[in-house]
A and B are shown apart, each in its own frame.
Chain A
C-alpha cells in the first residue's frame, strides 16, 4: 500500500499554485520537473496552474488518481481528504501543518483526519510533513530544489527542515540517495511501516534515520531486527535525564535515552552521535561489502595520519593486524629502506601509482587482512591522482572493503573525484574513515549474532 505513495501512477496536488514560493506551487513544480505519470493541479480559484488544467476539486478529475499531495490551509484539510477518499485515492502526503504539533485542539483534529483516512482505507504520510523523494521514479514531492544523485541510501527524517537541508547537502557531497521521507507527525505511516517497506524495497540498500521519538517501540525493534539492511540512526534528546530518584536506583538511571541505546543496539540499529556520522556510515555501506572480521591494514604516505587512524581503530576495537612475512617482503620492494613495511604501512612520502598499487595488492591478498584504510596526505611534491587511480584499480578486483582518506585542500580535488567515480568512500580525516569502517564491522557482527541466536533457538 505504501507503494501508492512512493510509486504512484498519477498525482493530484491539492492546493496547487502558480506562485512557486508557496508550498503548493513549489511542490507541483518539483513533481512536474521529473515525474513521468499524470499530474493534476487542484485549485478552485484557477483555470490553469503551471500550464496545466486546474480542477476545483479532486472529484472533478476525469482520470484515476493514485496519490494526492495536500497543501491547503489546515481548516480545509479534512474536506479535501474526504473528497480524496470518495475519489478512490490510495495514498496521501499531507503537508499542511496545524495538527498535533500545535497542542490538544490540533491533536483532536489529527484524530479526525486519521479516521477519515482509515474510513476509506487510504494510507497517509504526515500531516506536517515536508514530503517525499523517490529517486528511482524521479518523484520529488518536496520543496528541495533538485533531485539527489541516484543511490541506495534511503533517509527517514522526523524533522522536516533539517531533513531537507541534509538532503540538499548530500547532493553536494555526491552521496547517492534513493528516498527521502519526511515523516511529519506520523499519524498513520510511522517508522515501523517505513522500515518494513524499505526492507522489501529493492532499490534501498541502506536506511539512514533522524529520529526524535519512535512510536510503537516494540514493533519498531522487531522490524529493525528482521531486516538485513543496515540502519544508521541519530536519535536526539540524549540530554534529557530520566526522572529523578523517586523510587528505585534503576528508575533514576534508566532514562529514556539509556533505554533507546540498549534497544537500538539489540535491534542492530547503529546509533551514532552526529549527522556527519550517519552519512559517513551510510556512504560506506552503500558502496563497500562487509568485512569478514575486524582485522585492518592501514596504508599511508605519512606517519602522522596513520597514527591518528591507528588510535581511532583502537578506540573502536578494530585490530591493526600483523601482516604475513610474504606481504612485508612484497611491500619492501617498492618503498624506501627506512620506511615501514609493518602495519600501519608508512611509505615515508612515496605515493606513486606503482608503489600504492603494489602495496594495496599485497595487503588485500594477505589472508590476515579483512579491510584496508588507504590514506593519502597531500604535499607540494606529490600528486593526489596516481594513488587514487591505483586504489580504484585494485579495489575493482577485490571483495574486501577499502576505505579512503585523501587529506589536503584544493590540490586533491581531482584525486577525490577519481575515488568517488570509482565508488570508493572517501573521508577528509582518518577518524571519519575509521568510524565508517567500524560501522561496517558492527553491522557484520550483529548479523552474525542474529545467525547464532537463530541456531541456538532451533536447537
Chain B
C-alpha cells in the first residue's frame, strides 16, 4: 500500500529531520484563514490541502501573495475552483503559508530504485530541471562531502556561487538538507519525494513546497 502525503504532512516529515520549512497551518474556514494569516504576517500563500490533489496548481488550488483584504474571498474562490475541477475530492481545508523568501529555486528529490535502493537528486528548479535536466544523482546514504560534490556537479553551480555580483547562496545549508533527506529515505519508507522548490539564499535554505509518497503502514 502506498500513501500520498499532503504538502503539510510532507513538510512535517522534513521538519522532523531538521529541514527548515515555511510556517503554515491548515484553515477550516475563511475566518480561521484570516486569523492564521494575521499571525504569520501578510502577504501569505494559500493552497488547497487534499491527499487526492498532489498537483495543486493544475486545479487552481494555489494563490500567492494574498493580502489582508483578499484572504476571505480567496478562501472561497479556491474551494469553488477545486470542487469544480475535482468533484468529490476530500478536502482538509486551505493551507495558509508564509510567503517564500527571495532566492534561488532548487529541487531536492528522492526515488526508490528497484536495483540500488534510494536515489537522491539535486538540481536548480524551474526550467533548469524541466528543460535542461541539470541535475545530479547519488545513491543514499551520503555524507556531507558527497552532498557538496553533488551540488558542485550541476552545470548551474556558478549561479549558486553568485554571478555578476550577486550574493552567493548558502551551499552548506543545501548540503545539510541533502544529508537529512538521505537519512530519512529508508527510515520513512519513502517511495518518491520532491522538495520543489527548496529556496536558497545567502542566509539559508527553506522547503517551500513538498510532496511525498510513502509505503503505507
Contact = CB atoms under 8 A, between A and B. Distances in A.
Interface stretch (B28-36, B85-93, B114-122): B114-122
A37 interface: no
Contacts of B133: 253
Contact of B116 (A221, A250, A453): A221
Given A217-B117, A221-B116, A260-B115, A249 B139 contact: no
B138 A251 contact: no
Contacts of B213: 247-248
B139 A254 contact: no
Contact of A247 (B54, B114, B115, B116): B54
A3 interface: no
Contacts of A262: 119, 136-139
Nearest to B137: A262
A218 B119 contact: no
Contact of A259 (B54, B115, B145, B146): B115
B192 A259 contact: no
Contacts of A258: 119, 137
Contacts of B114: 217, 256
Interface in A321-347: none
A259 B194 contact: no
Contacts of A453: 143, 145
Given A221-B139, A250-B121, A256 B115 contact: yes
Contacts of B11: none
Contacts of B116: 217-218, 221, 259-260, 263
A258 B139 CA distance: 10
Contacts of A261: 137
Interface string B134-177: 01111100010110000000000000000000000000000000
The prevalent SS among residues of B at the interface is strand
Contact of B119 (A213, A221, A259): A259
Contacts of A253: 109, 121, 129, 133, 135
B149 to A, nearest CB: 9
Given A254-B137, A266-B139, A456-B145, A249 B113 contact: no
A251 B113 contact: no
B115 A254 contact: no
Query: Which range contains the number of B residues in contact with the other chain?
Result: 20 to 34
A423 interface: no
Interface in B91-116: 107, 109-111, 113-116
B196 interface: yes
B56 to A, nearest CB: 13
B8 interface: no
A32 interface: no
B194 A249 contact: yes
Contact of B107 (A249, A251, A266): A249
A214 interface: yes
Nearest to A261: B137
Interface in A221-263: 221, 247-251, 253-254, 256, 258-263
Contacts of A218: 116-117
Interface in A248-295: 248-251, 253-254, 256, 258-263, 266
Choose among B54, B111, B114, B119 the residue with the greatest number of A CB atoms under 10 Å from its CB.
B111
A217 B117 CA distance: 8
B46 interface: no
Interface in A201-223: 213-214, 217-218, 221
The prevalent SS among residues of A at the interface is helix
A248 B113 contact: no
A250 B115 contact: no
B193 interface: yes
B117 A251 contact: no
A456 B193 CA distance: 29
A259 B137 contact: yes
Contacts of B47: none
A248 to B, nearest CB: 4
B130 to A, nearest CB: 8
Given A253-B129, A253-B133, A262-B138, A247 B113 contact: no
B135 A247 contact: no
Nearest to B194: A248
Contacts of A251: 109, 111, 192
B44 interface: no
A254 B111 contact: yes
Contacts of B109: 248-251, 253-254
A104 to B, nearest CB: 19
Choose among A214, A248, A253, A260 the residue with the greatest number of B CB atoms under 10 Å from its CB.
A248
A253 B117 CA distance: 16
A218 B145 CA distance: 21
A256 B136 CA distance: 14
A258 B196 CA distance: 20
Nearest to B108: A250
A250 B194 contact: yes
Contacts of B115: 213-214, 217, 256, 259-260, 263
A277 B74 CA distance: 60
Choose among B107, B137, B193 the residue with the greatest number of A CB atoms under 10 Å from its CB.
B137
Choose among B107, B115, B130, B146 the residue with the greatest number of A CB atoms under 10 Å from its CB.
B115
Contact of A256 (B113, B135, B194): B113
Choose among A214, A256, A258 the residue with the greatest number of B CB atoms under 10 Å from its CB.
A258
7 contacts: A218-B117, A248-B211, A250-B111, A251-B111, A258-B137, A262-B138, A456-B145
- A-B pairs with the 6 shortest C-beta distances? A250-B109, A217-B115, A262-B137, A217-B116, A248-B194, A254-B111
Given A251-B192, A254-B111, A254-B119, 14 more contacts: A217-B115, A247-B54, A247-B213, A248-B109, A248-B111, A250-B110, A258-B119, A259-B139, A262-B137, A262-B139, A263-B115, A266-B146, A453-B143, A456-B143
Interface of B: 4, 54, 107, 109-111, 113-117, 119, 121, 129-130, 133, 135-139, 143, 145-146, 192-194, 196, 211, 213
